[in-house]
Amino acid sequence: KNQVEQSPQSLIILEGKNCTLQCNYTVSPFSNLRWYKQDTGRGPVSLTIMTFSENTKSNGRYTATLDADTKQSSLHITASQLSDSASYICVVSAIKAAGNKLTFGGGTRVLVKP
Amino acid sequence: EAGVAQSPRYKIIEKRQSVAFWCNPISGHATLYWYQQILGQGPKLLIQFQNNGVVDDSQLPKDRFSAERLKGVDSTLKIQPAKLEDSAVYLCASSPRPSPSSYNEQFFGPGTRLTVL
């Protein structure tokens, strides 16, 4: 069964500090892995997308890594800002005949405090 | 470029009532998705349309949920009758027609928050 597990479920960090979110998956056949940011009351917005051959990708202060051998990914937030308070969702895409099928993790809720 | 539009943004109903949600995808996007997101969880796919045809509705509770995309553009999702456990955010997403060079990225609307009392 395709699954995506994220940890921690939630975390609180002080403004300006760094943090790292984890994602483990058991999805096959693997197509790509995405990290989404979901602000409260809004739909998810894509931060990064990585294929099998990519092991790191950055988007501003967000850096995602992918280890396809161990089926693990991380999202690192550098110098956190109050606007980083959101849920971060790891999504893994599997190759299907009818098009890629996404499996969503439960998300990590990040609260940045001043 | 306008994003995915959804309405209403919020809806409160009593159990056993009916409710409908509307979604207008990004112009030109062939694929449309409806997701259910229960508080504290990731989204769960309910149904996927490719133009006006259903690609995947394996997780749609068909005894009470229905969806249509008659002209291959906007879509409606209906719940009839609603249960307490249907309280959730219903997200609509769209993506362009897949190509070998695309990641088939999905663009999400703001969602409709449904509360069933």
pLDDT at A75 over 90: yes
Report how far Cα A106 is from the mean position of its chain's Cα atoms: 10
pLDDT at A101 over 90: no
Mean pLDDT over each residue of chain A, to the nearest integer = 92
- Chain B touched by A17 (CB under 8 Å): no
pLDDT at A26: 93
Window 52-91 of A: residues touching B by CB (8 A cutoff) are 89, 91
Do residues A74 and A23 make contact, with C-beta atoms less than 8 angstroms apart?
yes
pLDDT at A41: 87
pLDDT-above-70 percentage for chain A:
96
Q: Which residue has the higher pLDDT, B65 or B104?
A: B65
Question: Which among A93, A101, A106 has CB closest to B42?
Answer: A106
- Chain B touched by A45 (CB under 8 Å): yes
Distance (Å) of CA B8 to CA A8, B12, B20, B112: 33, 11, 9, 6
Q: Any residues with CB less than 8 A from the CB of B61 and at least 6 apart, and which?
A: none
Q: What is the pLDDT of residues B25-63, one digit of tens each?
A: 999 999 999 999 999 889 999 999 988 899 889 999 999
How many angstroms separate the CA atoms of B90 and B87, rounded?
9
Angle ∠(A8,B36,B49) on CA atoms, nearest 5: 125
pLDDT at B101: 53
Nearest CA in chain B to A40: B110
- Chain B touched by A2 (CB under 8 Å): no
Residue with tokens 């490719």, as numbered in its chain: B50
For residue B114 the two structure tokens come to 């449904």
Q: What is the pLDDT of residues B83-102, one digit of tens each?
A: 999 999 999 999 987 655 55
Distance (Å) of CA B83 to CA A104, B25, B60, B116: 24, 27, 14, 7
Strand B88-95 versus strand B112-116 pairing type: antiparallel
Binning pLDDT at 50, 70 and 90, where does residue B1 land? low
pLDDT at A9 over 90: yes
Nearest chain B CA: its distance from A44 CA (Å): 6
Binning pLDDT at 50, 70 and 90, where does residue A98 land? low
